[in-house]
Amino acid sequence: MDQKLRVEIERLKREKEAVILAHNYQRPEVQKVADFVGDSLELARVSAGVKAKLVVFAGVDFMAETAAMLNPEKKVVIPDPEARCPMAAQLPPQLIKEARKRHPKAAVVLYVNTLAEAKAESDVACTSANAPQIVNALEEDTVIFGPDRNLAWFVQQRTSKRVLPLPENGHCYVHRMFSAADVALLKERYPDAEVLVHPECDPEVQQLATHLCSTSQMLRRAKASPAKRFIIATEVGMLERLRRENPGKEFIPALESAICVQMKKHTLEKVYLSLRDEKHVVRVPEEIAARARKTIERMLEISGRVTHD
């Protein structure tokens, strides 16, 4: 069945001049048919330069919105429109407007894990791969940062600016599942292992990391490192790619049950149907897109459009 779908997907891609972009947490069978697999920053960069007529985006809502906003003249479709990041929904635009009134001199930096309507109220976007770089490039001494409070903490450790998390308790339910006690136990059991942790994890977990990385930075670190064993604290989908691309190395999940159910909504069959029927089209009203696009463009200007971080 998968093989038949794969053949059909390849044929449709050629016929429609389409590309499939997929996030690192996607199911392995979806990653296999993708033309590009990456983290949020890489996906934004690739989206900004995409040549195809049709883009099938296998990721969550805010990622597909970013691709749509960067390509207003192209059709961007998402295989399952229910693939919505719950963290992105934690920051409604009204909260940003109120925070700006409280801190009129502060810049607003938003994690890409936000909806377009929130981005439209911000000054610049960032991802887990470039958040400290973006914050440090700004003139303002105070930064309102949302919605992930753990990423805000990570940034605060790497800047002399004042970082104000917004909302106070914004978080990713998947990365909050990791416990420092579990990671410490694994470190004791595997003292030779490098510990790669995503900065959406709690500060106590971050403090146990050898390296704090976005998903693609994990991949680059695992490839470059002389270590043979790694403890991985992020969504478990990442481990499949790490294993596939580093056959001689061992990857131990810090928590087997850390699964983002929203990311996993895209099955191979849904990818096929969305490509065949050109559904479900991602639309962002232009008055919002025009403002939100600028924040992504500004991020890409600061952090570079092509280089690796």
Q: Which residues bind ligand 13P (CB under 6 A)?
A: 24, 39-40, 113, 127-128, 172, 200, 214-215
3-state secondary structure of 198: coil
CB of 287 to ligand SF4, least distance (A): 26
Residues 282, 277: Cα–Cα separation, whole Å? 14
Binding-site size for ligand SF4 (CB under 6 A) equals: 12
Residues 100-129 that bind ligand SF4 (CB under 6 A): 113
CB of 113 to ligand SF4, least distance (A): 5
Residues 179, 72: Cα–Cα separation, whole Å? 42
Residue 39 binding target from ligand 13P, ligand SF4, none, CB below 5 to 8 Å by type: ligand 13P
Burial group, residue 286, by CB count within 10 angstroms (0-12, 13-18, 19+): exposed
Q: Is 22 in the site for ligand SF4 (CB under 6 A)?
A: no
Q: Name which of 144 and 238 has its Cβ closer to ligand SF4.
A: 238
Q: Is 253 in the site for ligand SF4 (CB under 6 A)?
A: no
Q: Name which of 128 and 295 has its Cβ closer to ligand SF4.
A: 128
Q: Is 151 in the site for ligand SF4 (CB under 6 A)?
A: no
Instruction: Figure out which of the listed residues 19, 54, 56, 87 binds ligand SF4, where binding follows CB under 6 A.
Output: 87
Assess contact for 40 and 127: CB atoms under 8 A: yes
Encoding tokens for residue 240?
């499949």
Residue 86 binding target from ligand 13P, ligand SF4, none, CB below 5 to 8 Å by type: ligand SF4
Assess contact for 214 and 178: CB atoms under 8 A: no
Q: Name which of 64 and 260 has its Cβ closer to ligand SF4.
A: 260
Of 216, 219, 256, 252, the C-alpha closest to 236 is 256
Q: What's the helix, strand, coil split of the chain in %, to 5? A: 45, 15, 40
Q: Name which of 64 and 174 has its Cβ closer to ligand SF4.
A: 174
Assess contact for 218 and 242: CB atoms under 8 A: yes
Q: How many CB atoms lie within 10 A of CB 160?
A: 7
Residues 48-67 that bind ligand SF4 (CB under 6 A): 60
Residues 175-234 that bind ligand SF4 (CB under 6 A): none
Per DSSP, the residues of 31-56 read HHH-SEEE-HHHHHHHHHT---SEEE
Q: Is 263 in the site for ligand SF4 (CB under 6 A)?
A: yes
Q: Name which of 40 and 71 has its Cβ closer to ligand 13P.
A: 40
Ramachandran angles phi, psi of 242, nearest 5°:
-60, -45
Angle at 252 between CA 246 and CA 257, to 5 degrees: 120
Q: Is 86 in the site for ligand SF4 (CB under 6 A)?
A: yes
> Which residues of the shown chain bind ligand SF4 in the complex (CB under 6 A)?
60, 85-87, 113, 172-174, 235, 260, 262-263
